[in-house]
Amino acid sequence: MRFRAAVVPERGRIEIREFEKANLEDNDIIVKVLLAGVCGTDVHLVYDEREEPWQEFKIGHEWVGEIDEMGPLAPKADAYGNPLKYGDRIIAYPSTWADGTCYMCRILLQPNLCLRTGVGRIIPDMGSAYAEYIYIPGESVIFRIPDDVSTEEAIFIEPMAGALRAFERAYAPGVPDRNQGFGPGKSVVIEGTGTIGTIMTAIAKMSGAYPIIAIGGPSNRLNMCTEFGADMVLDIMDSTREERIQAVREKTPHKLGADVVFECAGVPEAFLDGIRMARQGGSLVEFGHYTRRGTIPIDPFEICEKDIQIFGSWGYGPQEFGTAINILKASRSRGIDFSKLVTHRFQLKDAQQALETAYRQECTKAVIQC
């Protein structure tokens, strides 16, 4: 049987092609993709200039699907013990992202840093979700989506898992632990107001952080951040960097700056601003650079003198998928509806338009109905 999937043959161009369904290996699952999300990283992968020669690739790592076929040795239950059957809606932490067998996975217990990432045996696999079908190796960590979580909410499990990992990085580090790190009543700056920045805002709100300051634009995105819990928003189009740093300081005791800054904008200057917006002894989590975006000169004195903690955050483990599902289950009773973040919907044949809309930042989250 043949099915359609998107490929990116050259910079800025998406093409829908037909593929032949491969044979199912013994423990694999074939998933019919219900919804795929357009991620900021997808936009960078398709539109950013590159130094190295272009290589065609398939696209899409945010998806929600329905079990279409199961090999005879496919897992009979998900990671939480829920039985799995044909037609169930699932999401997976794929074994092609963390193989579960390498030194990082097994010994250091950091699957987000897997040494064998991308080693899959079936194409198109998990990194090609702008497609009608994808293959999931049976060794993946599979989660059945609870009935009370809609498909449009579930599309946020994957990006939310990344956001949760970034929050974990900012929890009280080491000793002393009193009044350190992220938590209830802590002042937080979120640089970047795309999907990730808005999710971070919502989780900060659910966690009791205060004040929550979101920085970005354009105004449609800032309004969304306000709706999702930001106490103050700063528009990068009508303020200077110095004014924004000052505005953050005005909101914090002794004008010292925020307890925690999350850089989710993917702009090198935002990293430097983040150092300046964090208080003495505060934390900065760099979470916006999943692709190379250029460099910025930094005076190391600023880092020393501030006694600041700077963390990188890359990917997530399957644990954060489980936590994200719990957050989605809790969200509506907390007055937050994540499905509102889906502002634009496209058919698979119009994947190019979906990417362009995201490139122009007209959407918060664009999704592709596959």
Residue 330's nearest CA partner among 203, 216, 239, 220 is 203
Tokens, residue 26: 């013994």
Shortest distance, CB of residue 138 to Zn ion, whole angstroms?
A: 16
Q: Which of 258, 203, 209, 207 is nearest to 225 (CA)?
A: 203
* CB closer to Zn ion, 65 vs 137: 137
Piece of 108-116, 180-188, 219-227, 279-287 that binds Zn ion (CB under 5 A)? 108-116
Q: How far is the CB of 100 from Zn ion (least distance, A)?
A: 6
- Give the closest residue to 321 by CA, choosing from 79, 98, 103, 148: 79
Instruction: Give the binding range for Zn ion (CB under 5 A) out of 1-9, 104-112, 222-230, 248-256.
Output: 104-112
Of 17 and 116, the one with the shorter C-beta distance to Zn ion is 116
The CA distances from residue 172 to 37, 186, 223, 316, 324, in Å, are 32, 11, 31, 19, 21
Q: Among the candidate windows 68-76, 102-110, 162-170, 220-228, which touches Zn ion by CB under 5 A?
A: 102-110
Cα dist from 311 to 91, 107, 108, 203, whole Å? 28, 22, 18, 19
Sole window of 109-117, 129-137, 304-312, 324-332 interacting with Zn ion (rule: CB under 5 A): 109-117
Considering only the stretches 91-99, 150-158, 238-246, 282-290, report the one whose residues sit in contact with Zn ion under the rule CB under 5 A. 91-99
CB 128, min distance to Zn ion, A: 20
Q: What residues have CB less than 8 Å from 82, skipping those under 6 apart?
A: 144
Binding mask 110-139 vs Zn ion (x if CB under 5 A, - otherwise)?
A: ----x-x-----------------------
* Residue 97 C-beta: closest distance to Zn ion, Å: 9
Query: Judged by CB, which is closer to Zn ion: 100, or 218?
Result: 100
Q: Which of 304, 247, 311, 297 is nearest to 277 (CA)?
A: 247
Q: Which residue in the set 28, 99, 125, 191 belongs to the binding site for Zn ion (CB under 5 A)?
A: 99
Q: Give the integer Cα–Cα distance in Å for 208 and 183.
A: 7
Q: What order of strands is seen across the sheet that includes strand 212-216? A: 232-235, 212-216, 188-191, 258-263, 278-286, 309-312
Residue with tokens 């064998």, as numbered in its chain: 116
Total chain residues near Zn ion (CB under 5 A):
5
Binder of Zn ion out of 102, 247, 256, 310 (CB under 5 A): 102
Q: Is 273 in the site for Zn ion (CB under 5 A)?
A: no
- Closest by alpha carbon to 295, among 270, 260, 319, 312? 270
What's the rounded Cα separation, in Å, for the pair 365 and 343? 6
Residue among 99 and 191 whose Cβ is closer to Zn ion: 99
CB of 95 to Zn ion, least distance (A): 9
Binding mask 42-81 for Zn ion (x = CB under 5 A): ----------------------------------------
Please state, as a whole number, how many other Cβ atoms lie within 10 Å of the Cβ of residue 280: 11
Residue 108 CB, shortest distance to Zn ion, in Å, is 10
- If the CB atoms of residues 102 and 122 are measured against Zn ion, the closer one turns out to be 102
Which among 247, 244, 308, 251 has a CA at the least distance from the CA of 279?
308
Smallest gap, in angstroms, from Cβ of residue 320 to Zn ion? 16
Taking CB under 5 A as the criterion, the residue among 5, 7, 36, 105 binding Zn ion is 105
Contacts of 15 (CB under 8 A, 6+ apart): 6, 7, 8, 9
Residue 133 to residue 31: CA distance in whole angstroms: 6
3-state secondary structure 239-267: CCHHHHHHHHHHCCHHHCCEEEEEECCCC
Contact residues: Zn ion, CB under 5 A: 99, 102, 105, 114, 116
